[in-house]
Chain A
Amino acid sequence: MENKTAQQKSQADLLVEAQQRKQNQFRMGAGATWGVLLLVLIFLFSGKTVLGFETIQLDTEFMRENIVFIGSGLGQTLLISILSISLAICLALLAALGRLSTFPPVFALSTFYVSLIRGTPLYLQIFFFFLALPQLGIILSGLMAGVLALGLNYGAYMSETFRAALSSVGKGQREAATALGMTPLQTMKRIILPQALRFAIPPMGNDFISMTKDSALVAATGFVHEVLWRATKVGRAQFNSLEALLMAAIFYWLMTLVLTFFQTRLEARLAKGDR
């Protein structure tokens, strides 16, 4: 009997080991392929000619001289993204709640906002805020106009995420809270929102990452000195646009890699939690 359990156990161990080996093989394969793809990319920009293949020649001196100038736009990029995402979260929550409202004006306000914003390009919205608001006597800095546009835009999209998150909380939860005597406001705050937010965090992470890149559109107004604005400026001035844009691309990519790393960890933590 004991013998048998020992055998069974070792069989289970073997299965686990085999599974782990498979997983490791997969990871190593994927990692190696990433490495190869990276090398190919680097090779494309190496300037060497191999077997008659010409590759792109970069002005490395220009790159060395300007890397700090371009990189110092990261602060602005992150600042815009953080301000915009905060605004977006507030708007999204209001819009999602408004959408559930039984009071016609509130419902209409919410659906009108989402429809208008989702129906027009972000690029156009940014210009609109920059050009139209001054005519109404509202003068915003390039940064604030950008944050307003990005926040409104992402808020409209995220409201759909929030709506899904709110409806993911079963109606039994609301009933249990109501039966305890909680008011609708208390029920929302204490019971529904905490559960909905947990559901909404992964997609919100995605939105934040994609916003760090869309923040580059704000550069078009010419007044926010973030990464892309700086790259465009020095690139044009010294006829090295390719090098400048390449560096900007690397900065954006690195930034999203770091953010993705944190997002993955956050998601793992949420998944382990007490759902």
Chain B
Amino acid sequence: MAPIVRVSSLDKYFGRLHVLKNISLDVQPREVVCLIGRSGSGKSTLLRCINFLEEPSNGSIQVDGVTVESHGRGKEHRQLIHDVRLKTGMVFQEFNLFPHMSVLENVIEGPVTVKGMNRAEAISLAEENLDSVGMLFKKDEYPMRLSGGQKQRVAIARALTMQPRVMLFDEPTSALDPELIGEVLNVMKKVAKDGMTMLVVTHEMGFAREVADRVLVLGEGEIIEDAKPSALFSKPKDPRTKALIDRYRTGGR
């Protein structure tokens, strides 16, 4: 099967700092891939290069048949980036809901403003997704009055309502109190079960073990391991992976 996401020879520099080093990666449709690695290893940067929140320094990104080269310029290039963004939904560690809009307005903002969908249609789609993350009962509330877990579920509904082909999650539970993590992970499991292709940066090893089809380990800007979770957790090949897993086991990051 053709991959739905293909990252080819991706390099990313921040100034002189070489953050991603010649990364290539394929993700198949419906696959759930977890990205783990030490802080600063480049997990967020890799995810953000896929939807061009960061401009790659080299290489190319392909999502669902749309290919964007790193050195493109001009109107066509911008259109390709826009197409890729429409095919990807993103969920941030800090939720980033729009505080001046109600929950429902947050969720219909993308479809109405970006896709030009008519309001009634957007609302019915939004309500469906809010219902599936268990947040329909708060649709008229403002984000300030939601708990962290509720905010993140709304953020997931907001991304889903754009009907993306791929969902990118950047540590979606890292800003949450421990007792609120479960509700967000459950929603993510449901999204995975519905067949969404997912790339998830996470420190939740339980989630990776249970839901991921593959786990990628990033170290100093390179993919140092790429394996099924069962294999990775039982016999890690790279000593750095082993150290990382041991740290999680003892409860550290």
Known: A172-B94, A274-B145, A275-B144. Contact between A179 and B51, CB under 8 A? Answer: yes
Q: Does A101 contact B (CB under 8 A)?
A: no
- Whether the pair B144, A186 counts as a contact (CB closer than 8 A) is no
| Interface secondary structure of A, over-half rule | helix
Residues of A close to B19: CB separation below 8 A: none
* Contact indicator per residue, chain A 158-186, by CB within 8 Å of chain B (1) or not (0): 00000000000010110111111111001
- The answer to whether residues A172 and B100 also contact, given A178-B85, A180-B162, A274-B145 and a CB cut-off of 8 A, is no
Contact status A274-B86, CB under 8 Å = no
Residues on the A chain within 8 Å of B100, using CB: 194-195, 198, 274
CB-CB contacts below 8 Å: B74-128 with A: 82, 85-86, 88-90, 92, 94, 96-100, 102, 109-110, 113-115
Contact yes or no, A190 B113, CB < 8 A: yes
What is the bound-complex CA distance between A176 and B159, given in angstroms? 10
A-side contacts of B207, CB under 8 Å: none
Chain B count of residues within 8 A CB distance of the other chain: 28
For B83, the closest partner residue in chain A by CB is: A181
Contacts of B243 in A (CB 8 A): none
- Among the interface residues B82, B88, B113, which one has the most CB atoms of the partner chain A within 10 A? B113
Cross-chain contact A175 with B96 (CB below 8 angstroms) = yes
Residue of A170, A179, A182 with most partner-chain B CB within 10 A: A179
B45 CB, min distance to chain A CBs, angstroms: 13
- Write the nearest CB–CB distance from A197 to chain B, whole angstroms: 10
A180's contact among B102, B109, B142, by CB below 8 Å, is which? B109
A274 with B92: CB separation less than 8 A: no
Q: Does B53 contact A (CB under 8 A)?
A: yes
The residues of B that contact A198 with a CB separation of less than 8 Å are 100
Residues of B within 8 A of A191 (CB): 98
Give Cα A186–Cα B85 distance, bound, in whole angstroms.
15
Q: Which of A227-247 contact B (CB under 8 A)?
A: none
CB closest residue in chain A, given B52: A178
Which residues of chain A have C-beta atoms less than 8 A from B82's C-beta?
A: 181, 183
Task: Known contacts A181-B82, A274-B99; decide if A176 and B114 are in contact (CB<8 Å).
Answer: no
The smallest C-beta distance from B214 to any residue of chain A, in angstroms, reads 24
Q: Please name all residues of chain B whose beta carbon is closer than 8 Å to the beta carbon of A180 when the two chains form the complex.
A: 85, 109-110, 114, 158-159, 162
Query: Are the CB atoms of B98 and A181 closer together than 8 Å?
Result: no
Residue in contact with B85 in the complex, picked from A173, A181, A194, CB distance below 8 Å: A181
A192 to chain B, nearest CB (A): 10
Closest CB-CB distance, A169 to chain B, in whole Å? Answer: 9
A190, B108: Cα distance in complex, Å: 13
Residues of B within 8 A of A (CB): 51, 53, 82, 85-86, 88-90, 92, 94, 96-100, 102, 109-110, 113-115, 142-145, 158-159, 162
14 contacts between A and B (CB under 8 A): A170-B96, A172-B92, A172-B94, A176-B96, A178-B85, A179-B51, A179-B85, A179-B159, A180-B114, A181-B86, A181-B162, A182-B114, A274-B142, A274-B144
Chain A positions near chain B (C-beta within 8 angstroms): 170, 172-173, 175-183, 186, 190-191, 194-195, 198, 274-275
4 tightest Cβ-Cβ pairs between the two chains A and B: A274-B142, A176-B96, A180-B110, A179-B90
Given contacts A178-B85, A180-B110, A194-B100, 19 further A-B contacts (CB under 8 A): A170-B96, A173-B98, A176-B92, A176-B97, A177-B98, A179-B88, A179-B90, A180-B162, A181-B85, A181-B110, A181-B115, A186-B113, A186-B114, A191-B98, A195-B99, A274-B142, A274-B143, A274-B144, A274-B145
